[in-house]
Amino acid sequence: MGSQWGRDRFYRKARTEGYRSRAAYKLLDIQKRFQVIRDDDNVIDLGCAPGSWLQVLRELTEGQVIGIDLNPIVPIENVTALKGDFTTEHMHEKVRALIPEANVIVCDAAPKLSGHKSYDQARAVDLSEMALDFALDFLKPGGNFVVKTFQGDMFHLILKKMRDNFYGVKVYRSKAARKGSAEVYIIGKKFKGRQNDSEG
């Protein structure tokens, strides 16, 4: 499998340009198409390891950049990396101590895959919904949210919840995604605010 990834042009490009993984080009692609991040935005990256999205975020904004992951992150200059579970109240308190609200929240996290397609898709949608719940707690009204998920039986549930909470919602498959991957990104623009949260 190593040789397969070695032939991938985004993998090679990442190594040449100093990004920690090929995923950097997914965020750059999303930013070019949807302009989700402005140059003064405070941004939180959920499930940020190994840190390629943090590298891109640091280039795109002069605001605060915070990353959260269960795994430790090799430090990036002027980026705050927190080790822990972004779903816990303890982590919420740590984030609030740094910034009470964010302009943008992004999540490129994916669960460890088992190889069972329907199970993996369900777990991925569950993870993306947890990221959405975090965003509903921390986004400023008018803020933007980008989350990776996988198309499958439960996809419509998170899509509905996104549409309930954002004025603009798009589903996008990045040009940098691997061939055959079921991953897509849901981009939510202009958060309606917490008074419009949906229970569904």
Say how far residue 175 (Cα) sits from the centre of its chain.
16
Establish whether 67 is an annotated binding residue: no
The amino acid occupying position 159 is L
Nearest to 57 by CA among 20, 8, 91, 100: 20
Establish whether 193 is an annotated binding residue: no
Establish whether 85 is an annotated binding residue: yes
Catalytic one of 26, 148, 161, 189: 148
Angle (CA) 9 115 156, round 5°:
85
Which are the contacts of 51, defined by CB distance < 8 A and separation ≥ 6?
20, 67, 73, 74, 76, 79, 81
User: Structural domain tally of the chain?
Assistant: 1
Long-range CB pairs of 2-11, under 8 A, 24+ apart, other chains included? 8/178, 10/176
Residues facing residue 150 across a β-bridge: 183
Establish whether 6 is an annotated binding residue: no
The residue segments making up the domain with residue 83 are 2-196
pLDDT digits (tens, 9 = 90+) for 84-139: 999 999 999 999 999 999 999 999 998 777 777 777 778 888 999 999 999 999 99
- Alpha-carbon distance 176 to 174, whole Å? 5
Q: Distance between terminal CA atoms of the chain? A: 40
- Does 144 score more than 60 pLDDT? yes
The question of whether 94 is a catalytic residue gets the answer no
Supply 134's token pair.
């975090």
pLDDT digits (tens, 9 = 90+) for 43-98: 999 999 999 999 999 999 999 999 999 999 999 999 999 999 999 999 999 999 99
Q: What is the CATH number of the domain that holds 91?
A: 3.40.50.150
Element holding 104 (H helix, E strand): strand 102-107
